[in-house]
Amino acid sequence: MSRVAQFLFRRKGGKGWHWTDIVTWVWLVGGLFIMFGPAVWLVGSSFKSPAALAEFPPTILPYVTQKVTVEGFDKPLDLYEVTLPDGSKGKLAEVRRIGVVGQMINPSNPGKVIKVNISQRTPVRAMSFASGNYTEPFTHFDFVRYLWNSVFVTVVATLITLVVNSMAAFALSKYEFRGRTIAMLLILATLMVPLSVIMVPLYSIVSALGLFNNLWGVILPTVATPTGVFILRQYMLTIPDELVDAARMDKASEWQIYWRIILPLTAPALAVLAIFSVVWRWNDFLWPLIVLSRKELYTLQVGLSIYSGELNVQWHFILAMTVVTMIPVVLVFIFLQRFITTGIAGTGLK
Amino acid sequence: MGHIKLTNVAKSFGSVDVLHDINLEIADSEFVVFVGPSGCGKSTLLRMIAGLERPTSGELAIDGKVVNTVPAADRGLAMVFQSYALYPHMSVRQNLAFGLENTKMPKAEIAERIGEAARMLEIEPYLQRRPGQLSGGQRQRVAIGRAIVRRPVAFLLDEPLSNLDAELRGSTRAELAALHARLSATMIYVTHDQVEAMTLADRIVVLRAGRIEQIGTPLELYNSPANRFVAGFIGSPHMNFLEGTVESVQSSKAVVALTGGHRLEVPANGASIAKGARVTLGVRPQHISIGGDTHGIPAKIKLVEALGSETVLHTDVAGQKVLVVAPGQYDLMPGADIRLSLSTAPLHVFNEKGLRLGHTV
């Protein structure tokens, strides 16, 4: 514990608080809450029952009021911790509430009704995880089907993204040709065109190609990304041209130079792009919603929208399924971040 | 076989002319060194022979066959790059095998060739390692090994020793010479280090600003440089140059008055040398002796570098810097006045255009 405290309150130079220590501390702790708080709240809330979700003030962890079954009452009654007028404390069940007075009974002696001011009682609460939020959608919601669609779209789109973008980046970084800069700028310029602008023409193209209501209609329009080309090209520029020359002297074809020399050396940048692509495709909502209208083709994000109806939003299911859909993205990030940080130790060049 | 011939080869990048009218013939199993200051076009010339650059004009022939449009891979050449350019993600063995696999060579033969090259270069213990795990010298050997396994008609080496420390450079230089003797393959070697050029080359090609200044054996270049540039470039420390004016010309001798008034007799060799012409005398630091003789050139010592076996004196002769390398040790201090004797020195006379008089091209 003392080591944790030592770590948390470590200061510049060891003695005294410099103002930068305070700024750093506030900045980092604030950042931790901003970044991590919503995720913790989401996970906590995903285990709450609908009633607990509607509670105010909200809690991070899922609490429910304990109930007791009392003889003579059909429904279980809420249990309260009560301070009686004589100062003694006890656990009583509430039969009904009239105004500010609750009519309580002792569960062990249900015959006698005790009237208690509601300010004198607090509900007895215990942590309870509503695992039904997770299990129920699997049974009455086609979760596995949607999961498969999402996985298929994400994996295939990411693989194609990596191949297509790295090929473009290879050409734009390792070949000298007229208009190379212009081509690069044009690709980057498409960053300024948002999806909503090209949605209608894109839809007519996809529709004309017969890809409407087809997972390929979700995959293909998204695979060429200016961001990906840019990331990979900038990385490839740092790979020495002498390696390409050496490979040419070694009788390697242009495809081999790309596939066997450049691509393996671009691994760190490819990992970054893979993370981006997985997150983008996994979280994509609007475009799949447009292209896919048959329920069995829905991806998870589109499928989840079933729970937010016009009149009734089933938050407990939405929250639980959001947690489930977050898991693959987190796993991908944990797995690939090693590649980003490691890079390739020693390039074999001076 | 590795006979390479360049005829009127020129290269320009856009509007910049890098090489002008290069004519050069390299015989089979010859060790040719391209030497010159940075930016003289020597690397471009090598890359052009390799096939990594296309000549803008002229003709490039290997073994009598014009190869201007033949891609690099099909010229049968192997190149060792300055940065070694080893594939960082492959083991040493894979690095060596890559070029052979691309020619669809049977696995057994690849293994045999790698084994042979590894034995020759003593890199057998590192075959499973990655280039990043090797020292500079080891990487250098792997880079040479990658060239050897190809059994090329000619080796092209682009400043292969420039990344090694001084000691390793010396020993690797000797190994390269031994390797050349053993493989008896044509080698073209690019360097800016004239010591490497002098020690390794059968013939040296001196380049400056995209033109060949002189081609010759190391001693030819040392003893009779064609012009002032070659004279200054070859030899270490470089040649001293003294400005002067021709005072009188006789049949075999001319008298030159140096700036500062001192007169020297120089051999004229019947060359066209006119009275009153501005000339530059070139003399190597090793050929100047320190003499108490009153006929010597008066000089003031600026700096004394005692190396033990020899002493390097930085002197000032009437405002011109003169370097003297004298064998042995001297008890001289900066600021002292001495006299320098050129009586036994081979003198080179350069005319105003920098051409050496008496040189027959």
Give the minimum alpha-carbon distance from B119 to chain A in angstroms, rounded to a whole number.
21
Q: Do B85 and A345 touch (CB under 8 A)?
A: no
- Those residues with Cβ within 8 angstroms of residue A117's Cβ, 6 or more apart along the chain or in another chain: A100, A101, A102
Decide which of A135 and B260 is more confident. A135
Helix (H) or strand (E) holding B280: strand B278-283
- Those residues with Cβ within 8 angstroms of residue B109's Cβ, 6 or more apart along the chain or in another chain: B100
Q: A78, A94 in Cβ contact below 8 A?
A: yes
Binning pLDDT at 50, 70 and 90, where does residue B246 land?
Answer: confident
Chain A / chain B CB contacts < 8 angstroms: 88
With beta carbons under 8 A apart, name residues in chain B contacting A345: 132
Which DSSP string corresponds to A196-260?
A: HHHHHHHHHHHHHTT-TTSHHHHHGGGS--HHHHHHHHHHHHTS-HHHHHHHHHTT--HHHIIII
Sheet harboring B186-191: ordered strands across? B77-80, B154-158, B186-191, B31-35, B203-208, B211-216
Q: Do B72 and A349 touch (CB under 8 A)?
A: no
Q: A282, A329 in Cβ contact below 8 A?
A: yes
Q: What is the mean pLDDT of residues B11-21?
A: 90
Separation of alpha carbons A119 and A82, rounded Å: 9
With beta carbons under 8 A apart, name residues in chain B contacting A175: none
Give the model's pLDDT for residue A101.
Answer: 84
CB proximity B165 to A under 8 Å: no
Tokens coding B20: 């002008």
Q: Do B84 and A252 touch (CB under 8 A)?
A: no
Give the model's pLDDT for residue B361.
Answer: 39
Q: Provide the chain B residues 88-147 that lie in CB contact (below 8 A) with chain A.
A: 88-89, 98-99, 102-103, 130-133, 136, 139, 146
The mean of the pLDDT values for chain B is 88
Separation of alpha carbons B268 and B247, rounded Å: 13
- Those residues with Cβ within 8 angstroms of residue B295's Cβ, 6 or more apart along the chain or in another chain: B339, B341, B343
Separation of alpha carbons B283 and B239, rounded Å: 6
CB proximity B79 to A under 8 Å: yes
State percent of chain B over pLDDT 70.
97
- What is the phi/psi pair of residue B333, to 5°? -115, 150
Structure-derived torsion over alpha carbons of residues A9, A15, A20, A26, reported in degrees to the nearest 10: 20
Residue A349 pLDDT exceeds 50: no
SS3 label, residue A13: coil
Binning pLDDT at 50, 70 and 90, where does residue A143 land?
Answer: confident
Q: Which of A174, A249, A257 to mutate to test the interface with B (most CBs of B within 10 A)?
A: A249
Structure-derived torsion over alpha carbons of residues B49, B53, B57, B60, reported in degrees to the nearest 10: 20
Residue A160 pLDDT exceeds 90: yes
Tokens coding A347: 């390039």
- Residue matched to tokens 């004196």: B313
Q: Do B87 and A261 touch (CB under 8 A)?
A: yes
Give the minimum alpha-carbon distance from B56 to chain A in angstroms, rounded to a whole number.
16
State percent of chain B over pLDDT 90.
44
Q: Do A240 and B85 touch (CB under 8 A)?
A: yes
Residue B244 pLDDT exceeds 80: yes
Residue A331 pLDDT exceeds 70: yes
Decide which of A260 and A136 is more confident. A260
B318: left (phi over 0), alpha (psi -120 to 50) or beta: left
Residue A264 pLDDT exceeds 60: yes
Give the model's pLDDT for residue A345.
Answer: 39
- Residue matched to tokens 């290997």: B62
Of A245, A251, A256, the CB nearest to B81: A245
Tell me, rounded to whole angstroms, the distance of Cα B68 from its chain centroid: 26
Residue B292 pLDDT exceeds 80: no
Q: What's the number of CA atoms in the CB half-sphere (13 Å) around residue A343?
A: 7
Q: How many CB atoms are closer than 10 A to CB A205?
A: 14
Q: Indicate the pairing of strand B186-191 with strand B154-158.
A: parallel
Q: Which of B347, B340, B19, B80 is nearest to B210 (CA)?
A: B19
CB proximity A240 to B under 8 Å: yes
Of A240, A250, A264, the CB nearest to B98: A250
ipTM for this prediction? 0.82
pLDDT tens per residue, range A278-307: 989 998 899 999 999 888 899 988 888 877
Q: Do A245 and B136 touch (CB under 8 A)?
A: no
State percent of chain A over pLDDT 90.
37
pLDDT tens per residue, range B68-115: 989 888 888 999 999 899 999 999 999 999 999 998 999 999 999 999
Q: Do A265 and B82 touch (CB under 8 A)?
A: no
Separation of alpha carbons A75 and B29, rounded Å: 104
Distances (CA, A) of B9 to A123, A249, B207, B304, B315: 96, 21, 14, 47, 44
Residue B39 pLDDT exceeds 90: no
Q: Do A347 and B132 touch (CB under 8 A)?
A: yes
CB proximity B81 to A under 8 Å: yes
Q: What's the number of CA atoms in the CB half-sphere (13 Å) around residue B169?
A: 14
Of B82, B84, B102, the CB nearest to A252: B102
pLDDT tens per residue, range A16-46: 788 888 898 899 999 999 999 999 999 988 8
Binning pLDDT at 50, 70 and 90, where does residue A85 land?
Answer: confident
CB proximity A178 to B under 8 Å: no
pLDDT tens per residue, range A215-235: 999 999 989 999 999 999 999
Decide which of B8 and B236 is more confident. B8
Q: Do A250 and B82 touch (CB under 8 A)?
A: no
Residue A343 pLDDT exceeds 80: no
Q: B356, B228 in Cβ contact below 8 A?
A: yes
Give the model's pLDDT for residue B268.
Answer: 67
Give the minimum alpha-carbon distance from A306 to chain B in angstroms, rounded to a whole number.
48
pLDDT tens per residue, range B159-211: 988 888 888 888 889 889 998 998 888 999 999 888 889 999 999 999 999 99
Give the minimum alpha-carbon distance from B44 to chain A in angstroms, rounded to a whole number.
13
Q: Do B87 and A252 touch (CB under 8 A)?
A: no
Helix (H) or strand (E) holding A184: helix A180-189
The mean of the pLDDT values for chain A is 85
Of B73, B131, B163, the CB nearest to A248: B73
Separation of alpha carbons B79 and A301, rounded Å: 55
CB proximity B72 to A under 8 Å: yes
